[in-house]
Amino acid sequence: MWIGIDDTDSPAGMCTTYIGAVLVRRLQRCGVRVVDARLVRLNPNVIHKTRGNAAVCIEAEGDTETVFALTCACVEALAEFDDPRTNPGVAVSSVRPSPDFYYAALRDFCTVDEAVGVLESAGARYRGYKNRRGLIGATAAVASDFPDRTYELLAYRKREMWGTPRQVDRSSLFCAEETTYPHTWDTVDRENDVVVGVPHTPDPVLFGIRGESPAWVRKARSSVRSEEPACEQVYTTNQGTDAHLVAGSVGTLREGRSYLVRGTVAGTPATGPGGHVSFLLEDGGREVRGMAYEPTKGFRDVVRRLVPGDEVVAAGSYKGGSLNLEKIGVSRLADAVRIRPPICPACAKRMTSAGTEKGYKCRACGERSREPEIERAERALRPGWYEVPPTARRHLARPLVRGVPPWEQAMLQSGRECGCSPHKQP
Ligand code: ATP
């Protein structure tokens, strides 16, 4: 059976993955065999999310009624019911619903009624608390399908430590990354000298290690020195897979969805207030603004090096008329040219403009020329992919260290939208 849980936490505490870890142990104590525990990230642009829009799915074998009762009891004991924005959902299904609902919740927006329709058709047991919104994530979790997957080991704090500063040895986290990269990633951001895998929120998570297999995340974990955790859980996840992206085209992007879009840089990138960098991306006469926000740090320098005429593919969420960049692929660099008045052949002084469409004139000797000096500048950018640093990476964004999926590479190379996402399109 598949057990889905969502919407149990608030900014003041708790975490759905912690409830998942507790439930795994309670199920095992009751003789239920746990086959897999999945951390399912959903549309990162959903406004109701507390933090990273995560839901949990536990795959198990046992008696459905017992499991449903245990799951509800666990959520009722641990969820942050007092927060008006916490609306838990629980679903247990012995039939796995079609992944369509998962893809819709991952890439689009869904309603509680749609979730209930899916659960009813599957003959699932379910319970929605308060306004029942958590049923959306719980249903998406039960229906989830990971053609590509990564793993995260999450260590949780003892209850008496919740809300206090976390004791995790910084150098041991850098050591964990150094000894296991590229098989694990994003424990720390070495370029910016920042720890990424230890949260600052008052939830039960002590630290998280992301990687390509349970063995690699455990190996990295063995280097970490910290306060004693209450428990640890390795989750199978859709994090770091780009599962949220679909092939899109400028002019047809929809608010709150995430895309890979092809286009030509149409204006020189500009740095605005707050250090955010923006540029116009054009395709077929239509334009969209690409944004690299200040937290993306050195990635902004890549964007600043773009010049009009560069052909790129850009990945990110479309929000408020902008594509908020997660990564960018440069497929063709335009010639960067500087056009200046020429040097006078007679007296070696630089000429000045003689007026609109009148060419150039030497102020010293009166010599005239029609041709400007065209200087081709060396480009400080190479074709290829560039990404935001770990400290600014979204959970679903696929780090380049994992490679670029064929459909994204095809979009970079083909010069047109190929629409061949490996994942089912909603
Ligand atoms: P938690 O750690 O508790 O899971 P979170 O950051 O994941 O925190 P939630 O508290 O779960 O956020 O809030 C997200 C809410 O949005 C949930 O009620 C979930 O059912 C709902 N939701 C998730 N995806 C979608 C979607 N695509 N469309 C509409 N609602 C969604």
**pLDDT per position as a tens digit, 295-354:** 999 999 999 999 999 999 999 999 999 999 999 999 999 998 888 999 999 999 999 999
Q: How far is the CA of 85 from the centre of ligand 1 (A)?
A: 10
* Residues 64/39, Cβ–Cβ less than 8 Å: no
What pLDDT is attached to residue 415? 57
Which residues does a 6 A CB cutoff place in the pocket of ligand 1? 6-9, 15-16, 42-43, 46, 48-55, 87, 89, 105, 109-110, 133-134, 136-137
CA nearest neighbour of 17 among 229, 235, 165, 214: 235
Over 60: is that where the pLDDT of 365 sits?
Answer: yes
**193 pLDDT exceeds 80?**
yes
Quote the pLDDT of residue 378.
87
Distance 57 CA to ligand 1 centre (A): 14
Q: Directed axis angle between helix 112-122 and helix 100-107, to 10°?
A: 160
pLDDT score at 376: 86
Amino acid at 309: G
Tokens of 295: 């937290």
Q: Which residue's CA is the closest to the ligand 1 atom numbered 25? A: 105
Atom number of ligand 1 nearest to Cα 110: 28
Closest residue to atom 12 of ligand 1, CA basis:
49
Q: Kindly tell me if the per-residue pLDDT of 380 is higher than 60.
A: yes
pLDDT at 423 over 70: no
Q: Quick one: which atom of ligand 1 is closest to the CA of 203?
A: 2
State the Cα angle at 150 between 326 and 34, rounded to 5°.
140
CATH topology of domain 2-142: Alpha-Beta Plaits (3.30.70)
Ligand 1 centre to CA of 48 (Å) is: 6
Q: Is 60 exceeded by the pLDDT of residue 411?
A: yes
- Domain assignments of the chain as residue spans, ordered by start: 2-142, 150-237, 245-333+379-414, 336-377
Is residue 416 over pLDDT 90? no
Q: Has residue 421 got a pLDDT over 60?
A: no
Which residue lies with its CA nearest to atom 28 of ligand 1? 109
Domain 150-237: top CATH class = alpha beta
Give the global pTM: 0.92
In sequence order, the 6+-apart residues with CB closer than 8 A to the CB of 41 are: 52, 53, 54, 106, 237, 238, 239, 243, 244, 395, 396
Confidence band of 375 (pLDDT split at 50, 70, 90): confident
Measured in angstroms, how far is the CA atom of residue 104 from the centroid of ligand 1? Answer: 13
Asked if 61 and 3 touch (Cβ cutoff 8 Å), the reply is no
Sequential DSSP letters for 88-127: -EEEEESSPPPTHHHHHHHHS---HHHHHHHHHHHT-EEE
pLDDT mean over 92-113 = 98
Average pLDDT over residues 343-371: 93
Question: Any residues with CB less than 8 A from the CB of 220 and at least 6 apart, and which?
Answer: 153, 176, 177, 179, 180, 184, 187, 209, 211
Residue located nearest, by CA, to atom 30 of ligand 1: 110
48-57, 213-222, 308-317 — which is least confidently predicted?
A: 48-57
Over 60: is that where the pLDDT of 217 sits?
yes
pLDDT at 399 over 50: yes
Q: What is the mean pLDDT of residues 230-258?
A: 98
Q: How far is the CA of 372 from the centre of ligand 1 (A)?
A: 59
> Tell me, what's the pLDDT at 226?
98
Mean pLDDT of the chain: 95
Tell me the C-alpha distance between 272 and 280, whole Å. 14
CA dihedral 192, 328, 271, 188 (to 10 degrees): -10
Statement: residue 367 has pLDDT above 60: yes
Structure tokens at 131: 């306004």
Task: State what percent of residues in the chain have pLDDT above 90.
Answer: 93
What integer is the mean pLDDT of 246-256? 97
Q: What is the pLDDT of residue 381?
A: 96
- Checking if the pLDDT of 272 tops 70, the result is yes
Of residues 129, 93, 135, 89, the one with CA closest to residue 112? 135
Under 8 Å CB-to-CB from 296, ≥6 apart: which residues? 325, 388, 389, 392
Q: In what order do the strands lie in the sheet with 184-185?
A: 125-128, 89-93, 2-6, 54-61, 33-41, 231-237, 150-156, 205-211, 184-185
Ligand 1 atom nearest 107 alpha carbon: 27
CA dist 176 and 196 (Å) reads 12
pLDDT in tens, 156-180: 999 999 999 999 999 999 999 999 9
Q: Which CATH number fits domain 245-333+379-414: 1.10.1740.10, 3.40.47.10, 2.40.50.1010, 2.60.120.650?
A: 2.40.50.1010
Which has the closest alpha carbon to 141: 213, 62, 237, 210?
237
Atom of ligand 1 nearest to the CA of 109: 28
Closest CA to 51 of 11, 12, 89: 11
Which residue is listed with tokens 């403009």?
353
Over range 174-200, report the average pLDDT: 98
Report how far residue 18's alpha carbon sits from residue 231's, in angstroms, rounded to the nearest whole number: 9
